[in-house]
Structure 1
Amino acid sequence: MRSLKDAQLGAFTFFASALPHDVCGSNGLPLTPNSIKILGRFQILKTITHPRLCQYVDISRGKHERLIVVAEHYENCLSIFQKPENAPSAEKVLQIAYEVLEGLEFMNKNGLVHRALGPNNVLMDCKGNVKLAKFGLYHMTDHGADVDFPIGYPSYLAPEVIAQGSFHPSDPSRDEAPLPSGPKSDVWSLGILLFELCAGRRLLQNIDISERLKFILTLGCMDDIVTVLAEEHGCLDTIKVNLMPTPAELLQDPVFNSISCHYTPFQKPVSLFSSSLRCAHLVLPDDISDLCKDNDEDYLSERAIDEVYHLWCLAGGDLEKELTNQEIIQSKPPISTLPNFVLEDGETFGQGRDRSFLLDDTTVTLSLCQLRNRLKDVAREAYYPLLEDEQSSLPQSNSSNELSAAVTLPLIIRERDTEYQLIRIILFDRLLKAYPYKKTLVWKEARVDIPPLVRGLAWAGLLGIEGDIQAKYEGIDKDTPIPTDRQIEVDIPRCHQYDELLSSPQGHIKFRRVLKAWVVSHPDLVYWQGQSFSYTRWWSSLAYACMSAFIPKYLYNFFLKDNSHVIQEYLTVFSQMIAFHDPELSNHLNEIGFIPDLYAIPWFLTMFTHVFPLHKIFHLWDTLLLGNSSFPFCIGVAILQQLRDRLLANGFNECILLFSDLPEIDIERCVRESISLFCWTPKSATYRQHAQPPKVAGDNGFAKTSTYYSSDYQDMPKTDLSREPLSLVDLKAEVSPRISAEDLIDLCELSLSGSSKRNKTGKPKIVAVDIRTAEDFNRGHISGSINIPFNTTFGPENEVVQCPAAGGLQSYRGRVIVVISHNMKSAAMFAAHLVKMSFPRVCNLDGGINKLKPTGLLTVPSPQI
């Protein structure tokens, strides 16, 4: 997206054709509104960038099928040359012709035809260069089929276009739609425009257009129409349409030899994820200080057009209000919208045809005054932030201090704060442009928050996407039918269809191709119903790349044809996490038989996108992508804890009903609590043998950092102190999770470094409970551990004979309790009893005391004298 510079933001509006309310499609569902179809087709237009085309920015959908389009805009157009004093020179006409053809050629390469060329849609920037406007109207309306007005101006339409007449799908007199216009139709329109520039007047300005069209549309053959137009323009020779050149052919005409040498061929900007160098053509001035001499520089105009529009909306911009102020949108009292009725004598009463549903191509300039006033106190240094640590030594401006205060505000407020979003967007823009070199800083800033405008690219950065993803995606066969096609076809229309983009036909097509590309490129995996919920807003090559990185990290082997062992291990670990963090809730759910198998499979299979609406998923995934593969467990526990009171007060049937229509969840609280739960969970407690194997050096995948928050236990080098895999039967038999000897040594401060692992109260976060006999305990134990022999707690038949809390364990409630024994069955039984007594954060030492004997870290008490 190019910068705003001297351009303006313009908006125009039109109505899509309304569909009958009582008609359904072949699938029995209501027909997709035409406005939704247009919105879906519009998305590709935002990606088309060329110096001769006005950049499309956004489209919004209002009431009664109204659509408002926002695009780059300029006040001047070809109409300025119609005045005698502004008559263009021959060189200027040649320049205009060449630049229009440049824009048309680029459109044709992208499968587009303008079809609405006219003097008002050929704009001129401050340097007098051509900018074609409204070039996407023909495409987004499905060649005019989704609107009630013709695309194009009659005075400039090509003869073959007029011959086709108007078409609407609901018209019973037309069996099939005419063929779409081709590139040559724009050449005719350009010819009329150039002729007018040379003649200095509008060719048809004195002719009654309605009468002319009425006559032309009654003619039955192309030759007659061409003859009529040829006579009107003083040319009696019949024009051969098929011999008319295309824009690409015209650009090679010798007439342009004198000016073509002054134009540099357009090079498409290199995308963030590409094999090409993004700065290969960067040219800097000899003196870098020349870039900063102008103290009155308009820094906002240097930002991308979509950024400026996003900030304009945050600063109170309202499209409908702007159009209403210019009387483009006019409200009518209900009495004035009554239909016509006719009396017996033929007298007609009521309203004529409502022309508001026809096209008014007026473009309203959006004022940026309110936005500029809002940002007037932002220091100019904020537009060029430093990315290294030395920025902390710089003097702080008022805006910087305000930014620091804004970080403490709720996320939803920060996302609506204009100044805060400006600074965050600029910072992320610079970091992402330096990706992957600045990958670590992307992670650091994403832990604060991610600006909604750059969320897609930021997520891709967090997933470690690199390389030429477009070439890889295009190399996958997405067209050959496969057995999964039917399931994908059925599943997609059920995926967040309240979202306008996802419910559009183009959204369905893009979504289907991404899912199919993943299925085809992963022959060892299969598509499972509901999988589409996980990938709602990423499109095409980037969507495929993100999906290919996301699934191995969080859903490794979830989509095997037989995934029962993977799912069961995952749910068992989740059940242990519930017992670890909330034993009272775990006890209740187990007593009523409400196990995770009944509610949690859709959570993890879709990473909660089946549970929450999109606006909540965005905030949840902002944090999820920062965590490792075990972080979803903590999110699941955080959800249960928000429903804790209702779950504890209800039985099995009520819990089933509760989860069939999940109550409102405070997502910011969920994220905050899941982070706290994660920090209290030892890394090895969530170990799964079916998780993603460790990546080899140089593997292009999930970004590694040295932080405890993001590192994955599975990726750590395995030693004799690492946790050993358990069979599913043995794993299910244990209520509490196991932790590795490495974690115990680290958390008990037994490392040689002597690093402190204390919480905010100053007390250690962990207590080791050795349940061996007193004799074994005295032969060697962990420093600081307490001894509660198993045989003093349980009898010969494993019945409880004494409460462990009586041994002073009650004072350690709230810390991580690690049960140590030489017998894992005894340790599991002891831990299960502590959970039954509602002791939180109980776990077992994997391998028992035998894992620690070779370390030399066991303490032998000194003999008493």
Structure 2
Amino acid sequence: MLPLKDAEIGAFTFFASALPHDVCGSNGLPLTPNSIKILGRFQILKAVTHPRLCQYIDITRGKHERLVVVAEHYENSLEELLKEGNPVSCAKILHIAYEALEGLEYMNKHGLVHRALSPQNILMDREGHIKLAKFGLYHMTAHGADVDFPIGYPSYLAPEVIAQGIRKPTDHSQSEKCLPSGPKSDVWSLGIILFELCVGRKVLQNIDLSERLKFIITLGCVDDIVTVLAEEHGCHDTIKELPENIIALLRKCLSFQPSQRPTAAALLHDSVLSTVSPLHKPYQRPASLFSSSLRCADLTLPEDISELCKGLPSKFFFFKSLASVHVCVCVGGNLEIEILMKKIISCRGGTLCIVNFLLEDGESFGQGRDRSFLLDHTTVTLSLCQLRNRLKDVAGETFYPLLEDDQSSLPQSSSSNELSAAAALPLIIRERDTEYQLHRIILFDRLLKAYPYKKNQVWKEARVDVPPPVRGLTWAALLGVEGDIQARYDAIDKDTPIPTDRQIEVDIPRCHQYDELLSSPEGHTKFRRVLKAWVVSHPNLVYWQGLDSLCAPFLYLNFNNEALAYACMSAFIPKYLYNFFLKDNSHVIQEYLTVFSQMIAFHDPELSNHLNEIGFIPDLYAIPWFLTMFTHVFPLHKIFHLWDTLLLGNSSFPFCIGVAILQQLRDRLLANGFNECILLFSDLPEVDIERCVRESINLFCWTPKSATYRQHGQPPKPAPENGGVSRTASYYSADYQDMPKTDLSREAVKLIELKTEVTPRISAEDLIDLCELTGPCLYKTPTKKTKSSKPKLLVVDIRNSEDFNRGHISGSINIPYSLAFGADGDLVQCAATTTLQSFKGRVIVIVGLVMKNAASFAAHLVKLGYPRVCILDGGINKMKPTGLLTVPSPQI
């Protein structure tokens, strides 16, 4: 993305043509509105960046098929030069020609044709450099097929374009619209513009349109078009005085036959521009974040950093990208309202009008066509004054955050008190705070440019929040995406038909189609390619319904980078959905649901008891949750906030999200029976995502790592070579499976045995850690217990008293299994059970000699409403080799 410098942000608007309401496509579904088609095609234009092109920034869709396009803009254009009425100097004409051809050549490399080239669409910055504007209008409108106005100006259209005419499709269900213009048509348009600059006035403007077009067509019989144009408009003497290289340039541009007309690339290297080409350095696009090219930046700072920081809020507009500035402008603003205030948008869009028609006697009746539905060439400059005023008091150091400072994170940062206070506000408010978003965007921009070296700090800052403009790259960093992703993606065969194609074609039109971007034909095409690339590159896995929903967030955030969407999806699935897409995944799903059921019992025994009593098991509602990681349940805007936190945790975090959702619906679930619960989940009520995230984090903090261990989870990753930095950002985001296995680790349990246990098992390692720390936590650093702090763990030894006295865990209490519960199922009152009751709400670990007895004891406690109950895997035998068992001293 190019820097803003002296550019402004402009917006122009137009209407897409409306489609009939009673026509369906070949798949039987309603036709996609033309405005959505245009919106989808527009996205690739944001990735076409060149110093000679006005950068496209954004597009919004309004009522009645209205589209508003936001792009880089300058007030000066070649139109102003022509209004002066004087011929332009030869040196300047060569300069304009060369830079315009640079822009056209870059467009042609990306398969784009301008078609609307005119003096008013060739802008100039303050240094006099050329900027081609509205170069994407022809592409985004499908060569003019999706709008009711022609693309291009008759005076500047090439003869072959005029001869082709304007054809509109009569069958709206057909995707093939009309024959597109070739790139050489722009060379003709440029030739006419250069001719006008040479003579100092416009040509072919003061005659009737039909006569003008006839004249252009008749030029095909002329050998020297330049001379004929000069004689036709009385400027033969002016043209005759031009240098030979300019005359030659005009003649090459105005070659009537396209086959004889050079391309923009050929003209750039032609001898006619040999005097200009050495003055221009070829444009080299910076290396992307994920590529095989080396990335580097000029990080030299002046000795006096305070001098650099002076006036930085105003310099922000000079150095930052157009997209970054536009994000700050849009925070709290409404683009359509601003254009409406400029009186460019008419409020008459929804009014019923009588069409103008002629009666037999020639009398006109009805209302003329509203010209507001045609293309309005006016570009509205969006004011940056309000943003400048808001940022004028921002400290200069904000623009150069110190990445090596451990206090750079906002909650403990060296930033202003206002920003620290903003970090505590709800996320939806933070995302609408201009100063806060400015700070976060700058910080993440610098961290991501230093990726992967600063991966740990990206992870640290993402714990606070993730700015929406950099969410796609931040997720890629959190998932550990590295290397030349484009080359790997290009190497995958995405064209050869495979059996899965049919299912993909059926699923895509039903996946998040409320979203305008994903519902566009471009979105469907990209969906198809990314999904097919994943299926082809993972031959041991198969396509399951739900994979399209998993793909949707990554595709939305990386719409112009299919390779990155594919890479993120390929990194996400093994981490959170390992082996979920096997052809026979029943054993994987069943183990996952069993562990989830144990998590419900661990955190909310009352809810667990009720759901088990009515037979409402996770198999009936939770499979779509976990198979799609909640993307089938929530809309994208909620998924973004949910996954911002999910990607910080390990593969056990989805269990916590599932429990948090159930707890939000807790009252309704407890009050209903089986049928009512089925109906409730068939149309899931509104879920507060911010509350869900907050409660998920709390549940994660209370969950021992080994409690969610799964035999069919992802196997341990190989240790980094040569002592390198681990890919794991933190101990607390690491999977239990990734940790080195010891004799104290949890062992695999057969699924049939796991299903008989109500509560989870934990490893001896976790038990030892819980005895020393307050517990693992994603967002808080565990602190060692002090003498004043209450213990958060109670170990209940259910062996008989003789075995207990031979050796037990220090601090544990003894409640023999055979004596613990009375005939009514309640705990038998004694000193030990009184202690147990006082620890209700804290982690309770059941330790025994026989695992079956320990599981039964824990299940009884769950029945009595005890939360956070778990059993020690392997029982007391696992603890004997540690030397941590104690023997009570003999009483004298």
Confirm or deny: 8 A CA contact 1:377 1:399 kept in the other structure: no
Confirm or deny: 8 A CA contact 1:299 1:380 kept in the other structure: no
Q: Which moved more, 1:454-463 or 1:398-407?
A: 398-407
1:18, distance to aligned residue in structure 2 (A): 0.4
Matched, 1:303 2:293: no
Confirm or deny: 8 A CA contact 1:735 1:832 kept in the other structure: yes
Task: Report the equivalent of 1:770.
Answer: 797
| Alignment of structure 1 residues 321-340 onto 2, 5 Å | 321-332=337-348, 337-340=353-356
Q: Which amino acid aligns with 1:731?
A: L
Q: Which amino acid aligns with 2:402?
A: L
Matched, 1:831 2:858: yes
Q: Which amino acid aligns with 2:466?
A: I
Task: Report the equivalent of 1:818.
Answer: 845
Matched, 1:842 2:866: no
**How far apart are the structure 1 equivalents of 2:26 and 2:731?**
54
| Alignment of structure 1 residues 660-699 onto 2, 5 Å | 660-698=682-720
Distance 1:813 1:554, change over 3 A: same
Over 6 Å off, 4+ runs: 224-230, 235-238, 285-291, 333-336, 396-399, 699-702
* Cα distance per residue 1:354-411 (max 9 Å; x no partner): 22211111111111011111222211111111112266799x9997110011111111
Distance 1:261 1:286, change over 3 A: farther
Task: Report the equivalent of 2:272.
Answer: 255
Confirm or deny: 8 A CA contact 2:821 2:827 kept in the other structure: no
Matched, 1:48 2:48: yes
Partner SS state of residue 241, structure 1: coil
| Alignment of structure 1 residues 47-446 onto 2, 5 Å | 47-84=47-84, 87-170=87-170, 177-209=177-209, 212-213=212-213, 234=231, 239-279=256-296, 282=298, 284=300, 292=308, 295=311, 298-316=315-333, 318-332=334-348, 337-340=353-356, 345-389=361-405, 400-446=416-462
Matched, 1:605 2:622: no
Partner SS state of residue 258, structure 1: coil
**How far apart are the structure 2 equivalents of 1:372 and 1:342?**
55
Partner SS state of residue 156, structure 1: coil
**How far apart are the structure 2 equivalents of 1:739 and 1:146?**
61
Task: Report the equivalent of 2:820.
Answer: 793
Partner SS state of residue 817, structure 1: strand
Distance 1:256 1:229, change over 3 A: closer
**How far apart are the structure 2 equivalents of 1:260 and 1:283?**
31
Confirm or deny: 8 A CA contact 1:576 1:735 kept in the other structure: yes
Q: Which amino acid aligns with 2:438?
A: L
**How far apart are the structure 1 equivalents of 2:751 and 2:693?**
30
Matched, 1:513 2:553: no
Task: Report the equivalent of 2:753.
Answer: 730
Match of 2:677 among 650, 655, 659: 655
Confirm or deny: 8 A CA contact 1:340 1:349 kept in the other structure: yes
Partner SS state of residue 298, structure 1: helix
Task: Report the equivalent of 1:707.
Answer: 731
Q: What's the TM-score once normalised by structure 1's chain length?
A: 0.94
Match of 2:469 among 436, 453, 461: 453
Task: Report the equivalent of 1:784.
Answer: 811
**How far apart are the structure 2 equivalents of 1:270 and 1:198?**
40
**How far apart are the structure 1 equivalents of 2:652 and 2:137?**
48
Count of equivalent residues: 851
Matched, 1:466 2:482: yes
Match of 1:617 among 617, 635, 639: 639
Matched, 1:563 2:585: yes
**How far apart are the structure 2 equivalents of 1:290 and 1:757?**
42
1:99, distance to aligned residue in structure 2 (A): 0.7
Q: Which moved more, 1:9-18 or 1:202-211?
A: 202-211
Partner SS state of residue 71, structure 1: strand
Task: Report the equivalent of 2:603.
Answer: 581
What runs of 5+ residues in structure 1 fail to find an aligned partner?
none
Task: Report the equivalent of 2:8.
Answer: 8
Match of 1:550 among 572, 575, 599: 572
**How far apart are the structure 1 equivalents of 2:826 and 2:121?**
88
**How far apart are the structure 1 equivalents of 2:117 and 2:882?**
81
**How far apart are the structure 2 equivalents of 1:247 and 1:492?**
39
Matched, 1:864 2:881: no
What runs of 5+ residues in structure 2 fail to find an aligned partner?
233-250, 775-781
Matched, 1:745 2:772: no
Confirm or deny: 8 A CA contact 1:87 1:197 kept in the other structure: yes
* Cα distance per residue 1:101-130 (max 9 Å; x no partner): 111111111111111110011111111011
Distance 1:804 1:575, change over 3 A: farther
1:24, distance to aligned residue in structure 2 (A): 0.8
**How far apart are the structure 2 equivalents of 1:5 and 1:206?**
38
**How far apart are the structure 2 equivalents of 1:524 and 1:144?**
45
Task: Report the equivalent of 2:236.
Answer: none
**How far apart are the structure 2 equivalents of 1:387 and 1:756?**
26
1:231, distance to aligned residue in structure 2 (A): 5.7
Confirm or deny: 8 A CA contact 2:798 2:847 kept in the other structure: yes
1:423, distance to aligned residue in structure 2 (A): 0.5
* Cα distance per residue 1:545-596 (max 9 Å; x no partner): 1011000000000000000000000000000000110111111111111100
* Cα distance per residue 1:416-454 (max 9 Å; x no partner): 111110001111111111111111110111000001111
Q: Which moved more, 1:320-329 or 1:666-675?
A: 320-329
1:250, distance to aligned residue in structure 2 (A): 0.8
Confirm or deny: 8 A CA contact 2:87 2:199 kept in the other structure: no
* Cα distance per residue 1:46-101 (max 9 Å; x no partner): 00111111100000000110000000011111122214576421111001111111
1:711, distance to aligned residue in structure 2 (A): 1.6
* Cα distance per residue 1:704-761 (max 9 Å; x no partner): 03332x121111000000000001101101111100000111112399xxx9655999
Confirm or deny: 8 A CA contact 1:160 1:222 kept in the other structure: no
| Alignment of structure 1 residues 524-543 onto 2, 5 Å | 524-536=540-552, 537=556, 538-539=558-559, 540-543=562-565
RMSD: 2.9
1:166, distance to aligned residue in structure 2 (A): 1.0
Match of 1:499 among 504, 515, 529: 515
